[in-house]
Structure 1
């Protein structure tokens, strides 16, 4: 049975569960990101792994810029490698089994960190191994969610990946502040060790969810693909073959899979000009890079250190405030990205984020925040308002686009390349930020502010509006020579006056189906069905009627 209806179309509870469960991959990433900024300030961690001029006196212990940068950033090198390996893994094993195996890799990395005693290089290598799992998951999870979720709520369900990233960061902050008073190495081992729980939940739970119908279709397993579609729609499996919406969607997926099966799919195909494949590869890589260059991880990786430098007595508490703002504002992002599409929120978000980073950098540059409490407070407020904009636009929006912009044949590889570019910039920022901050202090914010402006420009001139379309129709839109990014919001498949007309006709087909079922039970009749919507739903390769 359907859990609820959106635009008259059924949505099953499985669609919600698979999105939430797969999003544990984002939680793992967020937890690992959030924990390190606090761990590097813990007394026992400093005594074991930092350089101390007086052994046993934590007040004389400090990390060199290089050592701190490596401990923080080696996770990102692992994720970069993992993201590239995640594509062939997801294509070979399937989306579910790939995620389960990647959870095992993450757990191995956590164990290596827990077994570290006095060699900081071992702890850093453990973060690298965990990063392999995180990176592969970051490529697989948004792709799985986009390929499996009903188009009507695809934006919301895919955005839960970012929501869980923010939840993971917040939980890491809360556990860190609770564990910092634990005796000895327990202060940081508790924080690291709890990280094993999250991949266990994902690795085991995902095996009970349906496989991606697009992956099944590519591997010539259409009966299973139809069952997967039926489960996410909350439609009895035995009715899937006759259900007008499911039948049209399955036929479109199968036709697309048969067409793409004629071509071999390798990494080189991601860079071919035909069908705007190269265009979309470069667009995905650019957007993922610009998401890092918004400056969000400047606060998440080094937030405790930043706010300690502006005179905050307990920087751990400030981290929790930032984490809470990030998490709760992401709920707004779920609504914004579904209600207003993809382009408009990203453009507005880029301008908003830029403005508050200019405030942050200007305040920190004008006066020494450590000597001026009001300047410090202004910087915290501006950082929170920046996070508000990021959490509602660029944070969820880019992960949604990575799942729905690319064609099925090369989606895994293009998604991996885009995600790898995210992790490359993640590493560069994590490693070089201590050097840059030491040189230019809070003027670093001006760099990020400029990058946010660039992001808004790139979205306006190059990104197509992909909301309310099936993945097959998104591909059709990108290959339509008459459609331009700034006019794409008005684009609709052939046979429809507008995108709203497309939605209404598919909704009408679903209503007719319900009337027919009711009529079969003897309660009403369906003699008035005009067949117009059904005609659009079954017109073959054009796939009209899908949404």
Structure 2
């Protein structure tokens, strides 16, 4: 049963549920990212794993730059390899089973962390193992959401992955501020141990969701693929064959699969020039790398340390403020990506982020923020404004694009390579930030500002607009020699004049089908409800235009 219609196409409750359940993979990612910034400042954690001048005196304890960098960044090394392993796993087991296996890997990493007593290396290895699960999920979840979502809401559904990342970060901050004063190791073990809950929700919940129709079709099970499409769109299985849009989408998937049966889909095929496969592989890797180089994780990994250095008495509170801005603004990102497409938000987002990073860097360089409260406040405001822009553009946008840019035959592997690029830069930023900031301090912001400017130019020159297109149509668009990135927003498949024509005809076709199939009494009831009348209209004639 359809919950609502978008551009005339029915959207079922299962489409919403699968987006929410699968996005728990993003929550796991965000929770693990957000917790470490505050854990590094907890007294018991410092006494156990830092280097202390006087044993038992937390005031003399501190982490060396190498140790701090490794504790933070080894998660990213795990996620890098996890993303690469996640591709063949998702292709072999299916998207759902792969996610369940990856949840178990993450739980194993949590066990290693919470059983650590005094060896910082053990805690770091636990983060490495947990990272394997997080990385594999980061490759599987956006792919599953993109392959299952109706094209009309694919952007919003895939962006829920980023929304849940921000929610995970915020929840980690809130739990940390609640446990920081607990005596003993409970202060940090509670934060890490609660990590068991999130993969349990994902592993159990995904069992009740449909498998990716495109993965099913690639395995030759076209009947199950069509049923999975019907479930996600709120259409009864008995009505699947009669639904025009469902038949058209299923036929498109079938034709794409048949075309690709004789085409290899190994790792080397990701780097073939034909069909712009290499172009799209490098595009995905570049976009994921640039998402990290925006500088967002500079604040998320080291935010508590940053704001302690600018004279904030309670950096935990500041973290919650940043996390709240990040989470709330991501709701705006769901709207922005559906309303304005992919290219324009990313271009403007890069410019906005660059501007506020310049403010952050100039303020921190001009005066000492630890002694000038006005400067410190300005830096916090600029950080919040930066995160506002990031949360509404680059944060959700890149995960959407990774799910919808690649052809079916190599989608999993190209998505894995792209995501691995994200994690590689994640590691580099996490590990080297302590070294860089100790030398150039807040001038680090100038580097990230330059990267954001470059990112805007890169999107203008190389990214195609893929909103409101089926995944098969996106593949056609990239292979159309007459379509260029800067005019791609008007491209449409054969049979349509432009993208707007595609949207309008899709809406009209669905309305026409509803007029033919809807029972007269139901139509009359709907008219009555719309006008507020207590009586029913006369049934429309068979050829009456409603």
TM-score (norm 2): 0.96
1:442 equivalent in structure 2: 442
Query: Is the 8 Å Cα contact of residues 519 and 526 (structure 1) preserved in structure 2?
Result: no
| Runs of 4+ off more than 6 Å | none
* 2:180 is the alignment partner of 1:177: no
TM-fit CA distance, 1:521: 7.8
2:42 equivalent in structure 1: 42
CA distance in structure 1 between the aligned counterparts of 2:468 and 2:454, rounded to whole angstroms: 27
* 2:422 is the alignment partner of 1:417: no
* 2:513 is the alignment partner of 1:499: no
Query: Is the 8 Å Cα contact of residues 359 and 379 (structure 1) preserved in structure 2?
Result: yes
SS of structure 2 residue aligned to 1:3: strand
SS of structure 2 residue aligned to 1:480: coil
CA distance in structure 1 between the aligned counterparts of 2:207 and 2:276, rounded to whole angstroms: 35
CA distance in structure 2 between the aligned counterparts of 1:445 and 1:258, rounded to whole angstroms: 50
1:508 equivalent in structure 2: 508
CA distance in structure 2 between the aligned counterparts of 1:511 and 1:443, rounded to whole angstroms: 57
TM-fit CA distance, 1:496: 1.0
TM-fit CA distance, 1:443: 0.3
1:119 equivalent in structure 2: 119
CA distance in structure 1 between the aligned counterparts of 2:53 and 2:449, rounded to whole angstroms: 39
| 1:328-378 deviation digits (Å, cap 9, x = unpaired) | 000000000100000000000000000000000001011110011111000
CA distance in structure 2 between the aligned counterparts of 1:229 and 1:240, rounded to whole angstroms: 9
Query: Is the 8 Å Cα contact of residues 490 and 500 (structure 2) preserved in structure 1?
Result: no
2:517 equivalent in structure 1: 517
Query: Is the 8 Å Cα contact of residues 330 and 396 (structure 1) preserved in structure 2?
Result: yes
1:541 equivalent in structure 2: none
2:211 equivalent in structure 1: 211
2:244 equivalent in structure 1: 244
CA distance in structure 1 between the aligned counterparts of 2:51 and 2:234, rounded to whole angstroms: 59
CA distance in structure 2 between the aligned counterparts of 1:148 and 1:521, rounded to whole angstroms: 33
* 2:143 is the alignment partner of 1:143: yes
* Paired positions, count: 529
Query: Is the 8 Å Cα contact of residues 14 and 232 (structure 1) preserved in structure 2?
Result: yes
Query: Is the 8 Å Cα contact of residues 460 and 486 (structure 1) preserved in structure 2?
Result: yes
2:426 equivalent in structure 1: 426
CA distance in structure 2 between the aligned counterparts of 1:476 and 1:95, rounded to whole angstroms: 24
TM-fit CA distance, 1:518: 2.6
CA distance in structure 2 between the aligned counterparts of 1:526 and 1:393, rounded to whole angstroms: 47
Mapping of residues 124-135 of structure 1, within 5 Å: 124-135=124-135
2:367 equivalent in structure 1: 367
RMSD: 1.1
CA distance in structure 1 between the aligned counterparts of 2:176 and 2:520, rounded to whole angstroms: 60
Q: 1:170 to 1:489 in 2, by over 3 A?
A: same
CA distance in structure 1 between the aligned counterparts of 2:409 and 2:102, rounded to whole angstroms: 22
- In structure 2, stretches of 5+ residues that fail to align are 523-538
Q: 1:35 to 1:519 in 2, by over 3 A?
A: closer
Mapping of residues 19-418 of structure 1, within 5 Å: 19-418=19-418
SS of structure 2 residue aligned to 1:453: helix
TM-fit CA distance, 1:498: 1.4
- In structure 1, stretches of 5+ residues that fail to align are 530-547
| 1:94-125 deviation digits (Å, cap 9, x = unpaired) | 00000010000000000000100001000000
Q: 1:520 to 1:261 in 2, by over 3 A?
A: farther
